[in-house]
Amino acid sequence: MFGMGFTEILMIAVVAIIFLGPEKLPKFLVDIAKFFKSLKRAVNDAKMQLEQEVKLTELKEEAKEYKQKFASIADEMKSIEAELEEDPLQEAEEIKKALQKEPKREVVKFKKKKDNIDV
């Protein structure tokens, strides 16, 4: 225990009996036990609060990530909505007008003639 052997513990007990006396020693030991118990409780409480803060920080980071994802999805939805609101017939009309403005080119078709060659 704490790197102490049996002889060291026995020596401390003898010194405590000499200084405190047999009447005060039991009350002193109870007080020491209460002190260590409250110290242990305080350390555990601090440890739990630290763990809760770490979890809270992690949750905040996750929330930020989800918020960014939702924002990007909302932007995509707005662009899709804008595309859907556009009139497809208007785009077809624009293509027709562009084709009408271009000069027409004649398409020449060649017919293949079969040569009748007698051999």
Query: What is the block-wise mean pLDDT of the chain (119 residues), using blocks of 10 residues?
Result: 76 84 85 92 95 92 94 91 76 79 63 57
Give me 102's structure tokens.
């271009």
Cα angle: 36, vertex 37, 38; to 5 degrees:
90
- The CB density around residue 20, as the number of other CB atoms within 10 Å, is 14
112, part of any domain: no
* Selection from 79, 56, 60, 57 nearest residue 68 by Cα: 60
14, part of any domain: yes
Domain residues for the domain of 19 are 6-96
Between the CA of residue 64 and those of 53, 58, 79, what are the distances in Å?
17, 10, 23
104, part of any domain: no
44, part of any domain: yes
Q: Report yes or no: 28 and 16 within 8 Å, Cβ to Cβ.
A: yes
102, part of any domain: no
Rounded to 5 degrees, φ, ψ at 54 are -65, -45
Count of domains observed in the chain: 1
Give me 118's structure tokens.
């007698």
101, part of any domain: no
110, part of any domain: no
Largest CA distance in the chain: 143
Report the pLDDT value the prediction gives residue 94, as an integer from 0 to 100. 80
Report the pLDDT value the prediction gives residue 106, as an integer from 0 to 100. 62
116, part of any domain: no
